[in-house]
Amino acid sequence: DAMVIQNPRYQVTQFGKPVTLSCSQTLNHNVMYWYQQKSSQAPKLLFHYYDKDFNNEADTPDNFQSRRPNTSFCFLDIRSPGLGDAAMYLCATSRDKAKETQYFGPGTRLLVL
């Protein structure tokens, strides 16, 4: 089945130690998104790729970076995780921008010690 896959489901890192979260999709969608969701809060968009075109949200901290080496894969890099970065990170895709349904992966829960 076509899907959005996130690995790992749980990630533990140390304060200040770089960490990378992975997302892959078999839907062949043009757009990939990364959201951050803290407990009992709304998912917050960090950035998205439209094909290779990277779009950063204005309030996304510089500590967060992303890479999309090909259509199928997208990575979220957190350069120096702080305690406040502990959250669920959700990857999503859509066929195209605007008016389109988004398909979400199961999420990676990040714990910062």
Partner 1 sequence: SQQGEEDPQALSIQEGENATMNCSYKTSINNLQWYRQNSGRGLVHLILIRSNEREKHSGRLRVTLDTSKKSSSLLITASRAADTASYFCAPHGGSNYKLTFGKGTLLTVNP
Give 17 or 52: the residue with its C-beta nearer to partner 1: 52
- Report the distance separating Cα 20 and Cα 35, nearest Å: 14
Q: What is the sign of the dihedral through the CA atoms of 78, 62, 6 and 37?
A: positive
The binder of partner 1 chosen from 42, 62, 70, 83 (CB under 8 A): 42
Quote the least distance from Cβ 60 to partner 1, whole Å.
13
Lay out the site mask for partner 1 across 9-38 (x = CB under 8 A, - = otherwise).
----------------------x-------
Quote the least distance from Cβ 16 to partner 1, whole Å.
26
Does residue 109 interact with partner 1 by CB under 8 A? yes
The binder of partner 1 chosen from 14, 20, 28, 41 (CB under 8 A): 41
Do 12 and 19 touch, CB atoms closer than 8 A?
Answer: no
Q: What is the dihedral of CA 82, 84, 86, 91, to 10 degrees?
A: -100
Strand ranges in the chain using DSSP code E only, listed in sequence order: 4-7, 10-13, 19-25, 31-37, 44-50, 53-56, 64-67, 73-78, 87-94, 103-104, 108-112
> In the complex, which residues of this chain contact partner 1 (CB under 8 A)?
4, 6, 31, 40-43, 45, 48, 50, 88, 90, 92, 97-99, 101-107, 109
